[in-house]
Structure 1
Amino acid sequence: MSEQRPELTRTDPDDISSNPSDNRPFGSMLDARLSRRGALRGGTAAAAGFVLLGGPANGTATARPVAAAPPTGGGHHRELLGFRQVDTHDEDVLTVPEGYCTQVLIPWGTPIQPGGPRWRKDASNTAADQARQLGMNHDGMHFFPLGKGRHASSRRGLLVLNHEYVDQQLLFPDGEEDMTPEKVAKALAAHGVSIVEIECGADGRWHTVRSRLARKVTGSTPVTFSGPVAEQHPELRARNRPMGTLNNCSMGVTPWGTYLTCEENFNSYFGTEDPDWRPNAVERRYGINSEGFGYGWHRASERFDIAVNPKEANRFGWVVEIDPKDPAAVPVKRTALGRIKHEGCVTTVSRGRIVGYTGDDQDGDYVYKFVGDRPWRDHLDRGRSPLDHGTLYVARFDDDGTGTWLPLVFGRGPLTRRNGWRDQADVLLRTRMAADALGATPMDRPEWLAVHPKSRDVYVSLTNGSGRGGAANPRQPNPYGHIVRWREHGGDNTATRFEWEVFVLAGDPAHDDRVELGDNMFGSPDGLWFDPDGRLWIQTDVSNSSQNLPEKGYENIGNNAMLAADPDTGEIRRFLVGPRGCEITGVVTTPDQRTMFVNVQHPGEETPAWGTPTPENPRAVSNWPDHDPEGRPRSATVVIWREDGGKVGAP
């Protein structure tokens, strides 16, 4: 262990807790669990050359032993990882293993429909143009097949993807100067969800096609509310009609074929110039203040002035259901899943009932689970949404390796009228405060969750945190993050008890000798996704205020990356490394698993390691993927496939 541990950055607002409770934090329980069963080690065969998207090849990595872990799939274990690991790097390129090919698809500004408004590299596209183009900062996504049969279904489909936020220095020709209504309108059009129809041509390249299904759901699209918090609820009566979805981070899909987009840092868009305004208790708990994250929209639009239009903020922080195959369907905010900073909402089915897991992505907040009250098909047969009928729970992780799901139900436990709770709608509007009252376990920024396709074990990425807790906290602060997994009692995902363990402790062994990753080190795990074979894909989001910086302990980890893990053996290999300033987020394959789609978000964003983009020089950090000497960096989806036509990641 080095003499001095890296300091946890406080630059990112979601690294700052708004949780005032004294609930026992997860960190104080972690050391005991690590002492019982160490974090799983990552192993790899020696890495060799790799393919680059935009630059030359670089070095090799050495092997490290694999540590065994209890099998999760049961029965004979077959090898899952069949590629040679790529090295870390800090170049402005995207790298994948030898034997793999890549294609940049649908970068920010691509027309939703062929023939739509063309991308202008000087960022001079109007708000009206942006409403017909791919949004900014691609995040979670899913591929919905359209073709019939296994082959055709993997060559044509709808790609539905989130756009988390905007970088206003890159979005506008003059950057953040002089916020105007037109700028707010363009920024709103760059948020939300894009639905595009794509097809693989005879040459093996993917492209968009004209489609009646292609469309945008933006920050201005009409929406409705369903569940215990109805659209007419007094706390939703803002000055404008219900519209828009914002800060769309991760997602989920339902067994009935809809897409769940999740609203995370919605507080970032609100502010006020009113010197007399002060946040109330609920606003403080959700991080709402007079400045937000500095967007300045409130100076040009009363919709985002928290003093003038306070109820508008209550319309965000929900899981939003979209039917990608019905252009006439109005997006619905499903209030039974609670109002938090939803990172995502991964679903599974147990005993015929829908189960949805979601994390509240802020330091010191919680992990939640929604369980339907009856089989989901029964609800659909009655013309009702399965997501409107069920119980929302919050997790308590106990130090003996067990855990309990605590029900967020009005009238139960402390959630009574006597304690100031009015009804179930009130519980869901103030979900964070209800979870505080129940004694849930504060976590180090719970991000994506993933459910193993065979064992139904659940994994959650904890990207980093302040290590709020006692002396037993093994990392205080926790700048690198870790992944926790649990098995629900009896293998039933509707159960209210579970057993948990640390799957992997992320970080750099040079700075923390408890990290056992070797050359496949990584930091700040974020995106998680299981492919149908049970490979766990891990995507990283090291903050740009830490990325590549020795003083933050990130000089060896390099740019953000995607790795693949074998949950049974604990083996982890680095599959992809992104360009400068980006995070890697969002991953899915076609049904035959021979084509993978991965999102590269915010390449070129400001970072102390490389510089600050300006209107005069938007390329200060990155010029990926176009590498145009007069262009600017653009988030994009990358298509990845094997030269031999095999399954991505497989032997």
Structure 2
Amino acid sequence: MKSDNDGILFGNGDELPSNHSGNPHLDDVIALGRRRFLSGGAALGALAFLGCSVPGIASAAKPANRPPFKTRTRLPFDAIAGNRADVITVPAGFNSLSFIPWGTPITGRYPEFREDAGNTARDQAEQVGMHHDGMHFFPIDAQRGAGKSSNHGLLVLNHEYVDQAMLHPRGATVVAGRRVNAEEVRKEINAHGVSVVEVRRDNRGQWNVQPSMRNRRVTGATPMRIEGPARGHDLMKTRYSPSGTTTRGTLNNCANGFTPWGTYLTCEENWAGYFATNETQTPRHLSRYGVRGTGRYGWETVAGDEFERFDATPKGASAVNDYRNEPNTFGWIVEIDPFNPDSTPIKHTALGRFAHEGIVFAPVKPGRQLVCYSGDDAQNEYIYKYVSRDKYHNQAGGGRLLGEGTLYVARFNADGSGDWLALDINDPQFRDACAAAGVSFANQGEVLINTRLAADIVGATRMDRPEWGAVNPDNGDVYFTLTNNSGRTSSDAANPRSPNPYGHIVRWKESGGYNATRFNWDIYLLAGPQADSRGANGQPLDASNICASPDGLWFDAEGRLWIQTDMSGSQLNAGPFGNNQMLVSDPRTGETKRFLVGPRGCEVTGITATPDFRTLFVNIQHPGEGSTPDSYTSNWPRGGNSRPRSATVIITRDDGQALL
């Protein structure tokens, strides 16, 4: 999830493109020929989906093995209109309430939020972090699995980045291009990470934060353990951890996931920009991820070990004397036990190192391998799948299943088929591809530290910023958002956008089980204005559902797909779309409706629900983006002249029943 953030001093958070491989782009794949819709194996062409004349394409896909249709509509609400109001808009019959905004006290001394942003770094470490993102509700009885409680649980949420202009009373203090106030930088580090908040619904249906020992902040400075094939690798050794087995903090936590055994997974997305290096010949494990020049916030310019770690320039006799390898300890998926505030978070290196947007699990069954998917959210990057070595057994095994397995990367073929390509040093095809490319890796740890390079070598398909994934509970199809790609340079009749400003949603079905190495794919939705779009029903989008830059993605238990958008810049401020929004789409019928519109300048992101589906939690990130200390472009959620603050929104029905 990236946006143009004028409040960031040293540049916005977008990762600069670093994929210079000659691998095919998905655009080129679509243009090469026909592909198959996933519905019952019916052969339909790519040209037809994008608007050329093939009979029957206008009807909605009807995947095989669907449960029977319900007699009532599965989207029983009137679509709301797009708008640019500075409020949350939901359909008639629903209501919304802001909850746990940035700065809400949750632990320690419970310091109250100061409207002038005058809270200290220590305060921030005891308050909800800034810029809410991915999120999950753990029922209080979910310590070892799904849980059933809908009135009491742990709300765990990511905090992606910070807006210095809003975090501090007058923005960041900079003198001659250097950060000079260590307290400010420490506060910024503490505003990152994850919040664990115990919440309870009272007899009136109101949700409240509980003063609980389970409440916790995991920040950019929290000690972490490194596990998996890269643990102890020479490229993971630093002055802080000469053994290469620990690191400090998690950063740029975007989307998320949760495990079958009741733990939370937070994903490090645009971490590379936090680091700087002055090396003239940047090594591949830095250059392929875009580590260069000055850090995003200039943290490395402050004296002291806690800040110097953001400078990856070699300064000592070896890696254990400096922080040349510190960036290698980021770009991973981090596991947090929300029920144990004393537990040490774990960075799982078997899942690969890249700009993880999120992680989504295939349906889990005892006696079968664990399978999960993750996208690399940068222009022209890839989609990955991980298959555990061992089998899952009744919520047992825990993180071990995430520590030993095979990482694959996707190749999308022109005929609608796809291949999962193993990034495994013991795989003969991978070794042959490395030999052909003239690239060598010493061991599997080095392969995973250089995941992007390994994916380049095997010929993965470059995608338009892969973001969130979701698995349809009706039939197991896997969906991924491809938010947009301003760097696209080719177009034709089958894929007319060059560049792709609006994005789309791709889906696939595995061929013979989730651990298969083949799949079949199609495009579910082509976002954009009415004149340049294609809905899930095969028709152009209309006033009830036009959207752009699809990002957040989530299936509810009834198989309805919730889609969240992350427009920025001129796309957000002008044109037909209005503010960022959330839509609901029914893959059974192709019907798609707009359900929520956020306040000015925000991104709508992060979604989870209670088991009874009476409460939906949605995150609103960076309302009033671009605000300055002297001029706010939004005053959400408190209104008046208040400082804009990211917050969670609680959505319920007026009648107290299940939402849909």
Is the TM-score greater than 0.5?
yes
1:188-337 to structure 2, matched below 5 A, reads 188-230=189-231, 232-241=232-241, 242-272=247-277, 274=278, 277-293=280-296, 295-300=297-302, 301-307=307-313, 308=315, 309-337=323-351
Distance 2:395 2:655 in 1: 45
What is the one-letter code of the residue matched to 2:498? Answer: Q
Q: Give the structure 2 partner of residue 162 of structure 1.
A: 158
Given that 1:90 and 1:579 are in contact with CA atoms closer than 8 Å, whether structure 2 keeps it comes out as yes
Q: Which moved more, 1:150-159 or 1:454-463?
A: 150-159
Does residue 523 of structure 2 align to residue 502 of structure 1?
A: yes
C-alpha offsets along residues 224-264 of structure 1, whole Å, 9 cap, x if unaligned?
0111011x221111222411000000011111111110000
The aligned counterpart of 2:244 is: none
Q: 1:395 aligns with which of 393, 398, 410?
A: 410
Q: Which of 488, 495, 499 does residue 467 from structure 1 map onto?
A: 488
The residue number in structure 1 matching 2:54 is: none
Question: Does residue 85 in structure 1 map to residue 79 in structure 2?
Answer: yes
| Runs of 5+ unmatched residues, structure 2 | 36-44, 52-56, 242-246, 316-322
Q: Deviations over 1:367-387 (max 9, x none)?
A: 000011221228945x86110
- Which whole-Å CA distance do the structure 2 matches of 1:142 and 1:455 have between them? 23
The reply to whether residue 405 of structure 1 matches residue 420 of structure 2 is yes
SS of equivalent residue, structure 2 residue 452: helix
Give the deviation of 1:71 after TM superposition: 2.8
Match of 1:18 in 2: 18
**Residue 624 (structure 2) aligns with:** 604
For 1:205 and 1:37, how far apart are their aligned partners in 2?
Answer: 49
Are the aligned partners of 1:405 and 1:497 in contact in 2 as well (CA < 8 Å)?
A: yes
Match of 1:176 in 2: 172
Match of 2:353 among 339, 358, 361: 339
> Match for 1:527 among 552, 558, 575?
552
Residue 321 of structure 1, CA deviation: 0.6
**Residue type of the partner of 1:533?**
E
Cα distance change, pair 384–364 in 1 and its aligned pair in 2 (3 A):
closer
Contact 1:467 1:473 survives alignment (8 Å): no
Cα distance per residue 1:327-348 (max 9 Å; x no partner): 2211000100000100001112
Quick one: structure 1 residues 500 and 511, their matched pair in 2 at CA, closer, same or farther if it must change by over 3 Å? closer
Distance in 2 between residues matched to 1:72 and 1:601, nearest whole Å: 38
Identify the residue that residue 473 of structure 2 maps to in structure 1.
Answer: 453
Letter in structure 1 aligned against 2:517: T
Q: Secondary structure at the match of 1:96?
A: coil
Q: 1:310 to 1:145 in 2, by over 3 A?
A: same
Displacement, 1:66? 8.3
Secondary structure in 1 aligned to 2:171? coil
Secondary structure in 2 matching 1:304: coil
Instruction: Output aligned runs, 1:629-640, within 5 Å.
Output: 629=641, 631-640=642-651
Equivalent position amino acid for 2:411 in 1: R
CA distance in 2, matches of 1:431, 1:312: 16
The separation in 1 between residues aligned to 2:454 and 2:635, in whole angstroms, is 45
Distance 1:572 1:470, change over 3 A: closer
Task: Give the direction of change, closer, same or farther, for the CA distance of 1:596–1:498 in structure 2 (3 Å limit).
Answer: same
**One of 509, 526, 536 as aligned partner of 2:561:** 536
Corresponding residue of 2:41 = none
Residue 622 (1) aligns with residue 643 (2): no
Structure 1 position 114, deviation (Å): 9.1
Deviation at 1:411, TM superposition (A): 3.6
**Partner residue, 1:54:** none
- 2:601, 2:399 → 1: CA distance? 44
Q: Is the 8 A contact 2:533 2:540 kept in 1?
A: no
Aligned equivalents of 1:219 and 1:151: distance in 2?
Answer: 30
Which residue number corresponds to residue 385 of structure 1?
Answer: 400
Q: Is the 8 A contact 1:67 1:571 kept in 2?
A: no
TM-score (norm 1): 0.87
2:165 counterpart SS class: helix
CA distance in 1 between counterparts of 2:282 and 2:84 reads 42
CA–CA separation in structure 2 for the residues paired with 1:12 and 1:175: 15
The answer to whether the 8 Å contact 2:138/2:147 transfers is: no
1:623-650 deviation per Cα after TM superposition (whole angstroms, max 9, x unaligned):
1001142x310000000000122222x2
Distance 1:27 1:647 in 2: 41
Contact 1:338 1:392 in 2 (8 A): yes
* 1:47-196 aligned within 5 A: 67-71=59-63, 74-78=66-70, 79-113=73-107, 116-146=110-140, 153-178=149-174, 179=179, 180-196=181-197
CA distance in 1, matches of 2:511, 2:153: 37
CA drift at 1:100: 0.4
Distance change (3 Å), C-alpha of 1:39 and 1:159: farther
In the alignment, is the contact (CA less than 8 A) between 2:285 and 2:449 conserved in 1?
no
Q: What is the identity, as a one-letter code, of the residue corresponding to 1:478?
A: N
Is contact 2:526–2:533 with CA below 8 Å preserved after alignment? no
Identity of aligned residues (%): 49
Q: 1:384 to 1:599 in 2, by over 3 A?
A: closer
**Distance in 2 separating the partners of 1:208 and 1:508:** 41
Which amino acid in 2 is paired with 1:162? N
1:595-623 deviation per Cα after TM superposition (whole angstroms, max 9, x unaligned) = 000000000112xxxxxx22223x1x111
Query: Unaligned regions of 5+ residues in structure 1, if any?
Result: 1-7, 41-64, 550-554, 607-612
Partner of 1:476: 498
Counterpart-to-counterpart distance in 1, 2:239 and 2:147: 50
User: TM-score with structure 2 length normalisation?
Assistant: 0.86
Q: d(CA) in 2 for partners of 1:277 and 1:151?
A: 53
Distance 1:379 1:508, change over 3 A: closer
Change (3 A) 1:12 1:564: farther
Other-structure match for 1:46 = none
Are 1:361 and 2:374 an aligned pair? no
Tell me whether 1:646 sits opposite 2:660 in the alignment.
Answer: no
Distance 1:604 1:573 in 2: 25
How far off is 1:469 after superposition? Answer: 4.3
Residue identity matched to 2:526: L
- How do 1:26-37 and structure 2 match up within 5 A? 26-31=26-31, 32=33, 33=35, 35=46, 37=48
Q: Say if 2:50 and 2:534, in contact at 8 Å, map to a contact too.
A: no
Deviation for aligned residue 1:211: 1.1
Conservation of the 8 A alpha-carbon contact between 1:156 and 1:200: yes
- Take 2:109 and 2:424, find their aligned partners in 1: how far apart are those partners? 51
Distance 2:157 2:65 in 1: 30
Q: CA deviation at 1:143?
A: 0.4
1:38 correspondence with 2:49? yes
